[in-house]
Structure 1
Amino acid sequence: MPMIDLPYEELLHYQGRNPRPNDFDAYWDRALAEMKAVNPRVEIVPNSFSTPQVECFDLYFTGVKSARIHALYARPRHTTTPHPAILQFHGYKGHAGDWLDKIAYATHGFTVVAMDCRGQGGLSEDIHPVRGTTGSGHVVRGLEDHPDNLYFRNVFLDTAQLADIVLSLPEVDPNRVAVTGWSQGGALTVACAALEPRIRRAAPVYPFLSDYLRVWEMDFGGVHDELVQYFRNHDPLHAQHELVFEKLGYIDIQHLAERVQAEVLWGIGLMDKVCPPSTQFAAYNRIRSPKRLLVYPDFQHEWLPGLNDAIFEWMLSM
């Protein structure tokens, strides 16, 4: 098959390049303790969009660093028994999207909650000040500050906090809660399942935010170009090279993947230059729970035909 990365047989055993900080587990245990100490002040407001089968709401909660986070919340209108739920996470710099793709699940008996990532294209706010630059993207936000101020640390915690809220909704069966998303949403799917062990199923598709050192070395540009621009503008001689990638290791999903307990269905295109296959396998290979790959050899970071249907059918069997 054509290749832009390691041979497939090597990908199946690849263990990643980006360093794992020595205090990684303590870092995330401390982060989760901070999250659990927050009063989320959940607010649920009816939305004007609705159908005869589905009622829709705007859900707000307070996350770490006092940010107010927004999510779209749809549920079956006529239900008498607890039912499954699915959390959806969107791509980089986007938002939770329209109601239409939530309706398919809701009309089949799911509560659906889709989060706006703080400070991106939706309604969630990012009010916590940090030292240093944002540059052309969020990966480097907080990189020149304490590791607790990394942007994606807070977003990862938002996913776990939202999962806890959904698990507590009166209509939801807490034994049938799943997560899914593509690209950045795929990374947040892995992070959410890692930080909230009650998640039963996770369907990440070509996840972002994995194996930063490998991405930088491959130099395909795209959304990871912000790493190149960071060095060009702030460390042109790479004097802080090792420190930078070690700090990024705190928000590298390959290191969180070992915590995942959910059953995993993972979609990947082997010609993906945005999230190269090796960076995805760095995370996939560390998952210890039951897992399965759906591999698209000729596809890039794009629509993968039939995958949404496969994920939908898999979730219905939960």
Structure 2
Amino acid sequence: MPLIDMPLDQLQSYQGRSPRPEDFDAYWERALDEMRSVDPQVELVPSSFQVPIADCFHLYFTGVRGARIHAKYVRPKNASKPHPAIFQFHGYTSNAGDWSDKLTYAALGYSVFSMDCRGQGGLSEDTGGVKGTTHCGHIIRGLNDHPDNLLFRHIFLDTAQLAGIAMNMPEVDPGRVGAIGGSQGGALTLACASLEPRIKRLAPVHPFLSDYKRVWEMDLSSNAYAELTTFFRQFDSRHEREAEIFEKLGYIDIQFLTPRIKGEVLMTVGLMDTTCPPSTQFAAYNRIISPKSLDIYPDYGHEQMPEVSDRTLQFMLGL
């Protein structure tokens, strides 16, 4: 089999290259305290899209820094109360997707919450206010500011806040909730279950936002990670701040969050992935200490892989 990364036996024990900030745990406890202090002011607005088997709503809530966050909420008609729910997270720069792609779960009696990431392709707000560049990407947004102002900190918190809001709804069984997503959505699936440990099952696919230094050293800071190259070229062209930059990125590196996960994990990796290299994904997977399993696709890269949606659905039927 051709290799674009380490051999499989090395991937299975790989622990990452990026530095973990010494105050990482305190950083995220402080972040969660900020999230819990926010009055979410939840609003449900019926959508113009409706179907016989489900009620469809726009759900809005206030996240950290005052941003109004939007999610699509699909609730099965005549479902038992309480019933299970799925949190769905989208890929980088995209949005919550079509209403119709949530209906399979609704037909099975599951509510679905699909969040728009702030500042990306959907309806969620980005309230801004950060010092430094906002050019070319969200990983680097806040790198020239205090770590508490990193944009992905806020996005990770949005996922946990949405989960908490949903699990407090009388129609949702908080003991039967799952999270799914690919690429950025895979990263947010892991982040959500790390910051809201009541998530019972999660199925991330080729997750993004892990082990930034490894991406850099592999010379793969292109495509989704291209903003790392842009940042160094424009703001640290001699790499005098390289150690500082990678340590600051450690606050929003999912590999350091995954030990907090309590739920059961089914993760999918393609070994030919040059967008989110396999080693960066294994760095996150190998730190998970809850029950876990890994689906490996040796010949696939960062793309749709056969049967992943079917296997994810069957996994979530165990909620």
- TM-score using structure 2 length: 0.99
Contact 2:81-2:170 at 8 Å conserved across structures: no
Of 40-49 and 216-225, the range deviating more from structure 2: 216-225
- 2:302 counterpart residue number: 301
Q: Which deviates further from its counterpart, 273-282 or 215-224?
A: 215-224
Q: Secondary structure at the match of 1:295?
A: strand
Secondary structure in structure 2 of the residue aligned to 1:48: coil
Q: Deviations over 1:258-308 (max 9, x none)?
A: 101110000110000000000000000000000000110000000011000
Contact 1:71–1:113 at 8 Å: present in 2 too? yes
* CA distance, structure 1, for counterparts of residue 217 and residue 129 of structure 2: 30
Partner of 1:247: 248
What is the distance in 2 between the residues matched to 1:205 and 1:154? 22
| CA deviations over 1:187-217 (Å, ceiling 9, x no partner) | 0000000000111011000000000000111
Give the Cα–Cα distance (whole angstroms) in 1 for the partners of residues 263 and 318 of structure 2.
Answer: 14
* Distance in 2, Cα, partners of 1:223 & 1:294: 23
Aligned partner letter, 2:22: N
1:163 Cα offset (Å): 0.3
- CA positional deviation for 1:79: 2.0
Runs (5+) with no aligned partner, structure 2: none
User: Aligned runs of 1:80-159 on 2, under 5 Å?
Assistant: 80-159=80-159
Residue number in structure 1 paired with 2:193: 193
Which residue does 1:20 correspond to in 2? 20
Write the distance in 2 (CA, Å) between the matches of 1:10 and 1:175: 36
Structure 1 position 139, deviation (Å): 0.5
Tell me how far apart the structure 1 counterparts of residues 80 and 213 of structure 2 sit (CA, whole Å).
50
Alignment of 1:163-242 (within 5 A): 163-220=163-220, 221-242=222-243
Give the Cα–Cα distance (whole angstroms) in 1 for the partners of residues 50 and 217 of structure 2. 48
* Superposition misfits of 4+ residues, deviation over 2 angstroms: none
Mapped partners of 1:52, 1:68: distance in 2: 29
Cα distance in 2 for partners of 1:87, 1:79 equals: 17
User: Which range is displaced more, 46-55 or 116-125?
Assistant: 46-55
CA distance in 2, matches of 1:266, 1:216: 23
Asked whether the 8 Å contact 1:67–1:128 carries over to 2, the reply is: no
Kept in 1, the 8 Å contact 2:147–2:251? The answer is yes
For 2:280, the aligned partner's letter is T
Q: How far 1:183 moved relative to its partner? A: 0.2
User: Contact 1:116 / 1:122 at 8 angstroms: preserved in 2?
Assistant: yes
Q: How does 1:261-280 map onto structure 2 within 5 Å? A: 261-280=262-281
Report if the CA contact (8 A) 2:14-2:282 is conserved: yes
> 2:210 is matched by which residue type in structure 1?
S
Residues of 2 paired with 1:98 and 1:58: CA distance? 12
Q: Match of 1:304, as an amino acid? A: M
Instruction: Indicate if the aligned counterparts of 1:106 and 1:112 stay in contact, CA closer than 8 A.
Output: yes
Aligned counterparts of 1:80 and 1:208: Cα–Cα separation in 2: 36
Question: Structure 2 counterpart of 1:307, which letter?
Answer: V
Listed one character per residue, the Cα deviations across residues 131-161 of structure 1 (whole Å, up to 9, x for unaligned) are: 0112211110000000000000000000000
Say whether 1:61 aligns with 2:61.
yes
Give the 3-state SS of the residue equivalent to 1:50 in structure 2.
coil
**Could you tell me which amino acid in structure 2 is paired with residue 313 of structure 1?**
Q
1:31 — aligned with what? 31
What is the letter of the counterpart of residue 279 of structure 1?
T
Q: CA deviation at 1:80?
A: 3.5
Check conservation: 1:267, 1:295, Cα contact below 8 A.
yes
For structure 1, the residue ranges without an aligned partner over 5 or more in a row are: none
Deviation at 1:243, TM superposition (A): 0.3
8 Å Cα contact 1:69-1:123 kept in structure 2: yes
**Cα distance between partner residues in 1 of 2:15 and 2:58:** 40
Corresponding residue for 2:72? Answer: 72
Question: What code does the residue aligned with 2:278 have?
Answer: P
Q: Which amino acid aligns with 1:33?
A: D
2:239 aligned partner, one-letter code: H
Q: CA deviation at 1:317?
A: 2.0
Distance 1:225 1:313 in 2: 35
CA deviations 1:210-247 (Å, max 9, x no partner) are: 00000111122211111011101111000100000000
Distance of 2:298 and 2:56 partners within structure 1: 38
